[in-house]
């Protein structure tokens, strides 16, 4: 039998090899049977599995305290795979307004397929009991949320999900497993846009769903059927990013806390949302379910109008005007004009986003450089 591609010389390389093979030769029909019956680890075709991808799946699973994890092409592919795997026509899905905007597009497809959807407001206590129905099958939330960094009590949602016999899915992209472990708080599965903090370098797209082995098997079937398996090179980039993940997450959280404290009470900042601030509505719950800081994202309103926010961003020198988040560089954008474009204009502002709201993702730059950049840009508003 051919040697294991991850240990080609009998000793493990420091970097998982990038296995670009689409298909694999079988040593015998018996080996083929053992692979396809799941008796041994092995590979047949890239859409089924890939050793480089499988390696990073096990790493992310361990980070989330999960039995297993399935990696796919994007964060939205991860969300969509969860919906398609567990929802049927006639089922009721509860979504929170303040989740990543592209979920709105997917919701339109789900409604066309016969799934009933209710959008609810994100509040710290997580009380959505008035929206739960006999046919509620799934509650999907993000905490802290995108883009307003609202915090939802995961344990409280678990209680309500149990009463309805529904699944609880938590998007942990903003918090990352460094700060929050949703599975330990009662979530059935955790979803990530691994493009963001897990990858961390603005050079890959990937999604992840972590949970039990049973969930892995069901999601694997969906991934294999619709063809959302990640390519080996992106998996290698993701694994590389995870090697510095803890260091980056710690620094980003410290930078976000420092910038939030600087912006709090600034005369040009008319609202700031960051769970690390003691007077933030989500601070109490975040202090209970998050640890080692409050994440690298914050949202705030600049001045009174969209042009104020544009002027501020245009004057920034160290912080980059770009979408995405969780990168080594600090990134800032106006969600109304970028991440929420998939929503109708009236929906973008219905749950608290304003035309002058900015979302800031802290990077790993020196803190004093970031504070000075904020100060000089706000001085020009």
Spot the catalytic one: 43, 47, 246, 347: 47
Tens of pLDDT, residues 235-284: 999 999 999 999 999 999 999 999 999 999 999 999 999 999 999 999 99
Active site residue 196: yes
Tens of pLDDT, residues 91-127: 999 999 999 999 999 999 999 999 999 999 988 788 8
Report pLDDT for 82: 98
Spot the catalytic one: 100, 104, 216, 274: 100
Active site residue 171: yes
Spot the catalytic one: 196, 223, 310, 359: 196
* CA distances from residue 143 to 316, 363, 366 in whole angstroms, order as listed: 28, 20, 27
Q: Which of 196, 212, 243 is the last residue before a domain boundary? A: 243
Active site residue 178: no
Q: Which of 208, 243, 278 is the last residue before a domain boundary? A: 243
Tens of pLDDT, residues 324-352: 999 999 999 999 999 888 888 888 888 89
Report pLDDT for 7: 62
Are the C-beta atoms of 256 and 298 separated by less than 8 Å? yes
Tens of pLDDT, residues 279-317: 999 999 999 999 999 999 999 999 999 999 999 999 999
Residue 14 vs residue 370, higher pLDDT: 370
Asked, for residue 189, whether it belongs to a domain, the answer is yes
Report pLDDT for 9: 63
Number of domains in the chain: 2
Asked, for residue 371, whether it belongs to a domain, the answer is yes
Do 331 and 228 reside in the same domain of the chain?
no
Tens of pLDDT, residues 150-162: 999 999 999 999 9
Do 224 and 256 reside in the same domain of the chain?
no
Do 283 and 239 reside in the same domain of the chain?
no
Q: What is the residue range of 203's domain?
A: 29-243
What CATH number should be reported for the domain holding residue 106? 3.40.640.10
Q: How confident is the model at residue 359 (pLDDT cuts 50, 70, 90)?
A: very high
Do 130 and 260 reside in the same domain of the chain?
no
Active site residue 68: no
Do 237 and 254 reside in the same domain of the chain?
no
Do 255 and 162 reside in the same domain of the chain?
no
What CATH number should be reported for the domain holding residue 284? 3.90.1150.10
Asked, for residue 323, whether it belongs to a domain, the answer is yes
Q: Which of 209, 243, 277 is the last residue before a domain boundary? A: 243
Spot the catalytic one: 49, 91, 153, 171: 171
């Amino acid at each position: 039998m051919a040697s294991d591609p991850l240990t080609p010389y009998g000793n493990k390389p420091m970097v998982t090899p990038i296995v670009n093979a689409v298909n694999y030769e079988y040593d015998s029909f018996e080996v083929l049977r053992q692979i396809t019956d799941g008796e041994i680890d092995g590979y047949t075709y890239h859409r089924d599995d890939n050793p480089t991808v499988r390696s990073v799946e096990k790493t992310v699973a361990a980070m989330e305290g999960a039995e297993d994890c399935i990696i796919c092409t994007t964060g939205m592919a991860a969300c969509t795979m969860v919906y398609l795997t567990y929802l049927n026509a006639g089922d009721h899905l509860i979504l929170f307004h303040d989740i990543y905007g592209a979920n709105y597009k997917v919701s339109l497809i789900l409604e066309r397929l016969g799934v009933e959807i209710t959008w609810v407001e994100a509040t710290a206590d997580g009380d959505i009991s008035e929206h739960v129905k006999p046919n509620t099958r799934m509650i999907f939330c993000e905490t802290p949320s995108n883009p307003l960094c609202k915090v939802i009590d995961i344990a409280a949602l678990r209680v309500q999900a149990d009463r309805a016999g529904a699944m609880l899915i938590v998007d942990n992209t903003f918090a990352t497993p460094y700060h929050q472990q949703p599975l330990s708080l009662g979530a059935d599965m955790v979803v990530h846009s691994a493009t963001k903090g897990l990858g961390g370098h603005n050079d890959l797209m990937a999604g992840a769903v972590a949970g039990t082995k049973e969930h892995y098997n069901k999601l694997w079937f969906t991934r294999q059927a619709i063809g959302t398996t990640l390519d080996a090179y992106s998996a290698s980039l993701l694994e590389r990013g995870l090697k510095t993940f803890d260091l980056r997450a710690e620094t980003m959280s410290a930078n976000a806390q420092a910038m939030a404290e600087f912006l709090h009470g600034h005369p040009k900042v008319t609202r700031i949302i960051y769970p690390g601030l003691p007077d933030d509505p989500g601070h109490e719950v975040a202090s209970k379910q998050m640890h080692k800081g409050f994440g690298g994202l914050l949202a705030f309103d600049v001045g009174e109008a969209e042009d104020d926010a544009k002027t501020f961003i245009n004057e920034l020198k160290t912080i980059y005007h770009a979408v995405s988040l969780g990168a080594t560089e600090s990134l800032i954008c106006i969600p109304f004009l970028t991440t929420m474009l998939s929503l109708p204009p009236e929906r973008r502002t219905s749950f608290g986003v304003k035309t002058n709201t900015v979302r800031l993702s802290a990077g790993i730059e020196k803190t004093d450089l970031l504070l000075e950049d904020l100060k000089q840009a706000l001085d020009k508003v």
